[in-house]
Structure 1
Amino acid sequence: MELELRHFRIICTVAEAGSITKAASALGLAQPALTAQLHRIERTLGGPLFDRDRRGVRPTPLGELVLSRARLLLPAVSTLKEEAARLANATHPGATPARLRLGSANGHVLGGLVHQLNTSLPGLRITTHVSWSADELAAMVAECRLDFTLAGVCGDAQPPAQPGLHWRTLATDPVFVLLSDDHPLAGAQEVDLADLADENWGATPGDGCFGDCFAAACARAGFSPRSLYETDVTSCIDLVESGDAVVLCQPMFRRMPGVRAVPIAGNPLRWRNLLGWHPEAPAAGFAARLLELARAAYRDVTARSPRYAAFLRENPEFGVPDATPVV
């Protein structure tokens, strides 16, 4: 029998589990099948790899030798696969990859971007992964588990701290506040943050400094927020409709019965929408095209919100920038 990587994984799993029964469960095998497999491996290597007794299994001297090699070999092969994935199908600038794996944090562009890709490149295979954590998504890009990710940062904050990634700004938005139609300020063109000092607050979760920036904006307005509930979008809307909170929201929030998004005077909170990728990833050559499509998706989303489209015309510092450097 020729030894394969799976055999070395079996040896490592048995050693880590300390018993054949636990190792079989971890590997998804029946115990007799694992025992038979281990016997074949031992015959190939010329001797027993483990001493067995009622307390479990312990590596023999031969087992220690094989384990030391396996613990070097398996990570090396894993690293080789990651590097090969970056290079085997590397695309030239502008070339269209065969597949695209997109990540997105809490944002409003992903659906429109998928539509843009399906319309422009109907043969492209697209998969998506959504997380509240921009740091998690950046790590997945760095590990070549995603090709690109959409993420956001508060104000002028740095992108997720994942070395080697490139980031471009899609657009910058102010943060609005979502009010019930029954709220006394619901009909205002904009609201002063100070006029909401007695409210409870809600927002969708995420990492980064947004909570601190919100608290700082409230302090500048002369108050400390009573609370900041972090919950999903549906629960945020429920909190607004019931009058239990006002919610920090994206300005292109679609008009829904019972609630409305209203600008905050002076735009004290800003959100920078980013596209991130690894420059050595197979799909890196598609970055410029994807950025163009993501910005087109953003423009489509804002066009469906006449109030925010009018806001952007009056506040040209927001929206899609004219030019953005790689970060």
Structure 2
Amino acid sequence: MELELRHLKTIRAIADAGSLTRAATELGLAQPALSAQLKRIERALGGALFERGRHGVRVTALGELVLERTRVVLPAVTELQQEAARFARTPRTTAHLRLGGTHGPLLGALVDRLADAVPEARVSTCTSWSDRELARLLVEGRLDFALAGTCGSAPPPAADGLEWREVAVDPVFVMLADGHPLAHRAELDLAELADAEWAVVPGDGCFGDCFTAACARAGFTPRRMYETDTAALVHLVQVGRALGMCRATFPTTPGIITRPLTGTPLTWRHLLGRHTVAQRDVLATTVLAQARMAHAGVAARSDSYTAWLSARRDPAPPALP
């Protein structure tokens, strides 16, 4: 038998009454039924809680230990019930939005936009490299929305009740030091980078495998791959140790430039996740719209991404014969 809250109340009632007969009357039970219930509780706890006598019951040492816990647990549960009832009856004038996301400029841009779009909301953030962890936090109700991403068309983390909506799709760019021999090029062919070492941020998706496959299609195998946090990745690129792989929205950083790859062999899909039971459709629509506008703003601040987008909107005219 598993111990339940009602069992603690029974123990408390017996101790307060001083006898099984009086406790049974207060609890509205027959005395034999209460006695049988107490025996089941004592078996579950591993020993006698009361010593029976002609003049009532006396608490044992084990009973004192259990009663000491009930003095904490029972008032705490009562207070919780009262607070929950007050909360349910009180109109909500402010909201608390708990946002999760992988490290990057999009999460900060979304917080900035929500400050204007939902001015009454208090916003907190949680960052993780793991999309699966963000999905778990959504399922557990510890996050309201999560910005995650997948490589290409790979599916997002699956869990009952989760919904993922697409925010945007970015090309994956190469990050290199501004003194690199190819830094003057507007676009780079992956095959030209066969001798480079590489750095990427961690993740539990398929990006590493997709990058290796793209290199194989370009005719080479990456020499070395460093999987590290953003700060270390930036340092490795700045000192010329490695080239970095990054989303096209990577912010401008001193000593570093980003360049697109010919043919866009790799893409990154930004997604916004929520639990459909926990979050209202109206709020989800607002957050998704703000996430898409946040992405557009981040993209507009990247010169290399802006140039890449412009080239695709305005293709060069065909050469004259």
TM-score by length of 1: 0.68
Q: CA deviation at 1:173?
A: 0.4
Query: Which of 37, 46, 53 is equivalent to 1:50?
Result: 46
CA contact (8 A) 2:259 2:304 kept: no
Tell me what 2:249 maps to: 252
Query: Which of 292, 305, 309 is equivalent to 1:308?
Result: 305
CA contact (8 A) 1:96 1:286 kept: no
Residue 177 of structure 2 is aligned to residue 177 of structure 1 = no
CA contact (8 A) 1:107 1:151 kept: no
Unaligned runs of 5+ in 1: 9-41, 53-61, 67-76, 90-94, 317-327
Call closer, same or farther: CA 1:6–1:308 in 2, change over 3 Å: farther
Give the 3-state SS of the residue equivalent to 1:175 in structure 2.
Answer: strand
Residue 263 of structure 2 is aligned to residue 266 of structure 1 = yes
Query: Which of 224, 246, 259 is equivalent to 2:221?
Result: 224
Q: What's the C-alpha RMSD, in Å, of the aligned pairs?
A: 3.3
Residue 237 of structure 2 is aligned to residue 240 of structure 1 = yes
CA distance in 1, matches of 2:157, 2:128: 14
Unaligned runs of 5+ in 2: 10-37, 49-61, 67-76, 314-321
CA contact (8 A) 2:131 2:148 kept: yes
Query: Which of 120, 144, 147 is equivalent to 1:150?
Result: 147
Q: CA deviation at 1:106?
A: 3.4
Call closer, same or farther: CA 1:5–1:267 in 2, change over 3 Å: farther
CA distance in 2, matches of 1:254, 1:295: 17
CA distance in 2, matches of 1:263, 1:193: 10
CA contact (8 A) 2:258 2:304 kept: no
Which amino acid in 2 is paired with 1:273? H
Residue 195 of structure 2 is aligned to residue 207 of structure 1 = no
CA distance in 1, matches of 2:288, 2:130: 21
Q: CA deviation at 1:50?
A: 3.3
Higher gyration radius (CA): 2
CA distance in 1, matches of 2:178, 2:251: 14
CA contact (8 A) 2:161 2:277 kept: no
Q: CA deviation at 1:164?
A: 2.6
Call closer, same or farther: CA 1:254–1:280 in 2, change over 3 Å: same
Identity %: 49
CA distance in 2, matches of 1:96, 1:142: 25
Tell me what 1:193 maps to: 190
CA distance in 2, matches of 1:306, 1:6: 67
Q: How does 1:88-127 map to 2 (within 5 A)?
A: 98-127=95-124
Call closer, same or farther: CA 1:250–1:6 in 2, change over 3 Å: farther
Call closer, same or farther: CA 1:48–1:266 in 2, change over 3 Å: closer
CA contact (8 A) 1:106 1:206 kept: no
Give the 3-state SS of the residue equivalent to 1:144 in structure 2.
Answer: coil
**Bigger RCO (CA 8 Å, 6+ sep):** 1
Which amino acid in 2 is paired with 1:143? E
Structure 1 residue ranges, 4+ long, deviating more than 6 angstroms after superposition: 5-8
1:218-273 CA distances to partner (integer Å, 9 max, x unpaired)? 00000001121111111111101111100001212223222110111111000000
| Number of corresponding residues | 247
CA contact (8 A) 1:278 1:284 kept: no
Residue 134 of structure 2 is aligned to residue 137 of structure 1 = yes
Tell me what 1:39 maps to: none
Give the 3-state SS of the residue equivalent to 2:150 in structure 1.
Answer: strand
Q: CA deviation at 1:278?
A: 1.2
Q: CA deviation at 1:186?
A: 0.8
Which amino acid in 2 is paired with 1:150? L
CA distance in 1, matches of 2:132, 2:140: 12
1:112-160 CA distances to partner (integer Å, 9 max, x unpaired)? 1101111222210111111000011011111211111000000010111
CA contact (8 A) 1:97 1:283 kept: no
